[in-house]
Amino acid sequence: MIELHSVGNIRPHRLFASLCAAMLILAAVLVLPHASQPAPRVPLLVPVFSSAQATLNAIIAYLVLLQFHMERNDPDALISIAFAYSSLLTLVLLVSLPGVLTSDDHFARLAPALGWLWVAKLAGHALLILLAMLLWRKWPARTAARGEIHCRVALVAFVPVLLVGCACALVNGLASNLPLLQDGQGSYASLARGWPGLFILACWACALLSVLLVTRLRRSFDCWLAFSCLAYLLYLTVNFSSALRFTAGWYLSRLFELTASATLLGALLFEVLRMQRQLKTLYQSAYQISIRDGLTGLYSRRYFDTALAHEQQLMAHTRRPLSLLMIDIDFFKRYNDTYGHPAGDDCLRQVAACLQDSARSSDIVARYGGEEFAVILPDTDANEARQAAERLRNAIMARGIPAASPAGRERLVVTVSIGLGCRRSDPQAAGETTLIDEADHALYDAKRQGRNRVACRIL
C-alpha cells in the first residue's frame, strides 16, 4: 500500500532534520544573551505571524487527516486533531487582536482570558501529540473498520472544534479567578517564570521525548514531527527569556514557531510528491503488464486488437495501405513433445525476440495465441510487406534454434510460416476481421505449400 509517510530510505531525512535542529539550537544559543534587547516595533507582524501559523497548521491537519483516511491509524487522527486545534485557537486569538475585529478597549478587557487561551493552545497541542504517541505505544496495530471510516473522519474533523469551544468556555468561565499572565506594561514575566510557563515547556519536552522514543524516527514524518516539537520547545525557551514583545528574542521565537510548522508541512508535501511519482510508476508498470504478453514480452492479443482497429481507422482517413502478418512456428507441437514445455516456452521467447529485433520501429509485434504471432505493418503495401515477411522468416532461420527432427534426418532449425494480408487504401474495403481472415488464410496457404515460406492475399 502507498503511504503518505514513507518508510523507505530514512537516512537522508534523519540527517537533514538533525542538521536543521542543530542550526536551530545554535541560533537559540546565540540569541539568548540578547533576547531582551529591544527591537523595532512592527505591530503588523503579529497578525501576519498568526495568520501564517494558523494556515500552516490547518494544512498539516488536513494532510494528516488524509493519511488517517488511507491508513486508518488512530495516532494519525490525534496528530491531525492536535494541529487543527492549534490552528483554530490561533484564529480565535487572531480575531481578538486590536485592530482586527476587536477595539482597543475590548481587547484590554479580553487580555486576561486571551493569555490563558494562548497557554491552552500550546499545552493542548503538545498533550494531543503526547496522547498520540501513547496510543501508538499501547495499540500500534489498532485500525478503524473500513465501513466506519467516513464516520471516523467526520468525528476527527469535529473534535478540534469541540475542544476549542470547551477551552474558550472554560477560560471565560474561570477568567475572574485566574491570575493575570501579563501586566500593564506588556510584560508576561509571570507567565514565563511561573507554573504556566513551566507546564507548557514540560508538555513540549514530553511530546518531543515521546516522538523520539515511540517512533524511533522510522518514517520521514516522524523525523520532522520531532523537529517540530523541538522548534516549539526552542520557541518557548527564547520567548520566555525576554518576557516582552518586540524584542530580539520575541522576533526570533516567532520565527521558530513558523519553522516548526513550515518544515513539517514541507516534509508532508514532499511525501505527497513522492507518492505521486510512486503512483505514476505503478500505473505505468500496471499498464505495461496489461498490454504485454507475460511469456514473450510482446504486445498482448488485447493490445493487438485495439491497435489494429486504430490502424484501420487511421488508414481510412489517410488512404494509405495497411498490411498484416500472421506467423506460425512450424511443427511446434512436435517440438513440445520432443523437448518438453519449458524448452517450448524458451523457443517462443527466442522467436519473439527475433521478431522484435527484426521488425521496424513502426511495426506492432504481438503474440496472437499459442505459437502464433502477428505483426501490424502500418503504411506498408504488399511488396514492402512481403520483403518484411521474408526478412523475419530468414532472421528466425539464421538464429539457428534446434528443431525436433524425425529419426534419421539431418538436424534442422526452427522455421516459421507467414501469411500476409494487405488492405489497399480504399476506405470501402472490408473491415479488420476480413484482414485478419485473409492473413490467416494466407498462413494456411503457406503451410499447404510446404511451410517455411510466405504466402500473400491482397484485399
Which pLDDT tens digit goes with each residue over 358-405?
999 999 999 999 999 999 999 999 999 999 999 999 999 999 998 876
The residue among 416, 295, 315 whose CA lies nearest residue 366 is: 295
Question: With bands split at pLDDT 50, 70 and 90, how would you rate the model's confidence at 321?
Answer: very high
Start-to-end CA distance of the chain, whole Å, equals 52
Q: Give the position of cell 501513547.
A: 134
- What top-level class would CATH report for the domain 301-458? alpha beta
Given a contact cutoff of 8 angstroms between Cβ atoms, the answer to whether 60 and 261 are in contact is yes
Report the pLDDT value the prediction gives residue 408, as an integer from 0 to 100: 47
Q: Quick check: helix, strand or coil at residue 419?
A: strand
pLDDT tens digits for 224-253?
Answer: 999 999 999 999 999 998 878 888 989 999
What residue type is assigned to position 45 of the chain?
L
3 versus 339: the higher-pLDDT residue is: 339
* Banded pLDDT at 209 (limits 50, 70, 90): very high
Instruction: Please give the pLDDT value at position 109.
Output: 61
Tell me what the pLDDT averaged over the chain comes to.
Answer: 87
Statement: residue 82 has pLDDT above 70: yes
- Cβ–Cβ < 8 Å for 456, 442: yes
* pLDDT (mean) for 111-131: 90
CB 100 within 8 A of CB 114: no
Most confident of 63-67, 75-79, 375-379: 375-379
Average pLDDT over residues 154-158: 88
Give 91's strand partners: none
Whole-prediction pTM: 0.73
Which residue from 307, 302, 281, 306 is spatially nearest to 292, judged by alpha carbons? 302
pLDDT of amino acid 70: 82
Helix segments in 175-194, DSSP class H: 189-193
Could you give the CA distance from residue 307 to residue 105 in angstroms, rounded to a whole number? Answer: 76
- How confident is the model over 19-51, as pLDDT tens digits? 999 999 999 999 999 988 988 888 888 889 999
332 pLDDT exceeds 70? yes
Q: What is the pLDDT of residues 161-184, one digit of tens each?
A: 999 999 999 888 887 787 777 765
Band (1; pLDDT cuts 50, 70, 90): very low
- Find all residues with CB under 8 Å of 41, minimum gap 6, and list them: 246
253 CB-near residues (< 8 Å, 6+ apart): 234, 235, 236, 238, 239, 242
Rounded to the nearest angstrom, the gap between the alpha carbon of residue 189 and the centroid of all alpha carbons in its chain is 47
| pLDDT confidence of residue 431 | 47
Mean pLDDT of 435-458: 92
Rounded Cα–Cα distance for residues 19 and 438 (Å): 71
With a CB cutoff of 8 Å and minimum separation 6, the contacts of 435 are 308, 312, 322, 324, 421, 423, 459
Average pLDDT for 86-105 = 75
pLDDT at 446 over 60: yes
What residue spans define the domains of the chain?
A: 11-287, 301-458
The closest alpha carbon to 207, from 321, 299, 86, belongs to 86
pLDDT at 69: 83
What was the pLDDT predicted at 2?
45
Predicted confidence band of residue 153 (pLDDT cuts 50, 70, 90): confident
pLDDT confidence band for 146 (50 / 70 / 90): low
* CA–CA separation, 238 and 240 (whole Å): 6
